[in-house]
Chains A and B, each alone.
Chain A
Amino acid sequence: FVLTQPASVSGSLGQSITISCAGTSGDVGSYNLVSWYQQHPGKAPKLIIYEGTKRPSGISNRFSGSKSGNTAALTISGLQAEDEADYYCCSYVGSRRRVFGGGTRLTVL
């Protein structure tokens, strides 16, 4: 995977966590086009953040995105049990291609 994410993160109910997504100047660093997807076991991925910081309609404002240099980040505040899932970042890399991060398993304690 071209984008590097931590394999796992954990947090307690009500706390905040941040998942990083490290890329390069050729992907994350060049475009404000990182998106984040949430995937529960046995389900298809679901868009939760697009264009780095924007939330689709219906997505809780507990989810927020940011970027600094070549690294994007997803922050989830006020952790809830239903946030336990896998999270993937994805970046546009020019032309028509996309690259994903390896995914991060979030455990809510």
Chain B
Amino acid sequence: EMQLVESGGVVVQPGESLRLSCAASGFTFNDYAMHWVRQGPGTGLEWVSYISWDGSSTDYGDSVKGRFTISRDNDKKSIYLQLNNLRVVDTALYYCVKDSGYNYFDSWGQGTLVTVSS
């Protein structure tokens, strides 16, 4: 069974940094691209970032480009999201999501909560 477990979400102040982690199991991790998707309090889903199977290609949503960095370690079957210069609007549940290889998401973690507040 595919499983994704996120960690690292905490309460931080505006301008601070944070690193989220996602540990994968139950599938051949280094065969698949991965994404981060977030969901603000009481709001909808927002695609945040993508990383290819080998980490050579990445992309970001316009609202986080230049502040967030995605990376992966295939030996550890993990992906990461470095969040810099955090803003109150970045407050959200951050989901680690597996790409099926055919442009849809076929497995989601349970999310890790990031709260940005002064």
- Contact assessment for B104 and A90 in the assembled complex, using a CB-CB cutoff below 8 Å: yes
**Cβ–Cβ < 8 Å partners of A46 in chain B:** 108
Chain B residue nearest to A92 (CB atoms) is B103
A residues contacting the other copy or chain, number (CB 8 A): 25
A85 within 8 A of B: no
Pick the contact of A51: B45, B59, B102 (CB < 8 A): B102
Name the distance in Å between B6's Cβ and chain A's nearest Cβ: 10
Bound-complex Cα distance A58 to B104 (A): 17
Q: Which size class do B's interface residues fall under?
A: 20 to 34
- Contact assessment for B50 and A97 in the assembled complex, using a CB-CB cutoff below 8 Å: yes
**Cβ–Cβ < 8 Å partners of B52 in chain A:** 96
- Contact assessment for A96 and B44 in the assembled complex, using a CB-CB cutoff below 8 Å: no
Bound-complex Cα distance A6 to B46 (A): 17
- Contact assessment for A44 and B33 in the assembled complex, using a CB-CB cutoff below 8 Å: no
**Cβ–Cβ < 8 Å partners of A37 in chain B:** 45, 105
B110 within 8 A of A: yes
Pick the contact of B45: A45, A56, A96 (CB < 8 A): A45
Bound-complex Cα distance A45 to B58 (A): 23
- Contact assessment for B102 and A50 in the assembled complex, using a CB-CB cutoff below 8 Å: yes
Name the distance in Å between B32's Cβ and chain A's nearest Cβ: 13
Of residues 32 to 55 in B, which have CB atoms within 8 Å of A's CB atoms? 33, 35, 37, 44-47, 50, 52
- 0 or 1 for each of A39-51: is its CB under 8 Å from B? (1 = yes): 0000011110011
User: Given A45-B45, A88-B44, A96–B108 Cβ distance below 8 Å?
Assistant: no
What are some 15 contacts across the A-B interface (CB < 8 A)? A1-B44, A33-B103, A37-B45, A45-B45, A56-B106, A88-B45, A90-B47, A95-B59, A96-B50, A96-B59, A98-B35, A98-B47, A100-B44, A100-B45, A101-B44
